[in-house]
Amino acid sequence: MSRVYRNLLQKDHYKKHLSYAGTHGSIDLRRALCDHLRETRGINAAVENILLTRGSMMALYLAFHTIIKQGDVVVVGETNYYSATAMFKNIGAKLITVPVDENGMVVDALEKIVKNKDQGGVLNAASSQSNYCFPEGRKAYATVMPC
């Protein structure tokens, strides 16, 4: 095994296979995503507008730091994804938890919370690290609820 590895390292093409893609991700994959978005969603995205991350945590980090400011209110389920909660706290967001049941966030409790807020956001990470998934009606309700 070490002989095969050593032989591979002596050739120039090893860099392509043993390193990360560019900082924006694989150009071929970004082109394919542009084609897919155009064909399935009617979105004419340019390759330069597509950013691929090396994992979900980096994607969440970039998204949260882009849209959440210190002091913003973020509503999460009691069984929220721990790493997301840690990121919210690191940004300085004020967290409010909502009870969850076997079907996810209890939207009646969610509605009471958001009625008293001028603005904020709701992280609906249904089925992320838990065993529940919003039923279709509850998911739609929570998605369109103004906050």
Distance CA 138, CA 101 (A): 12
Residue in 24, 79, 20 with CA at minimum distance from that of residue 53: 24
Per-residue DSSP letter, 49: G
**How far apart, in whole angstroms, are the C-alpha atoms of residue 117 and residue 120?**
7
User: Which pTM was predicted?
Assistant: 0.58
Helix or strand (DSSP H, E) at 62: helix 56-67
pLDDT in tens, 77-95: 887 778 888 888 999 998 8
Please tell me which residue, 92 or 111, carries the higher pLDDT value.
92
The 10s digit of each residue's pLDDT in 3-62 is 877 776 776 665 666 666 666 778 899 999 999 999 999 999 999 999 888 888 888 889
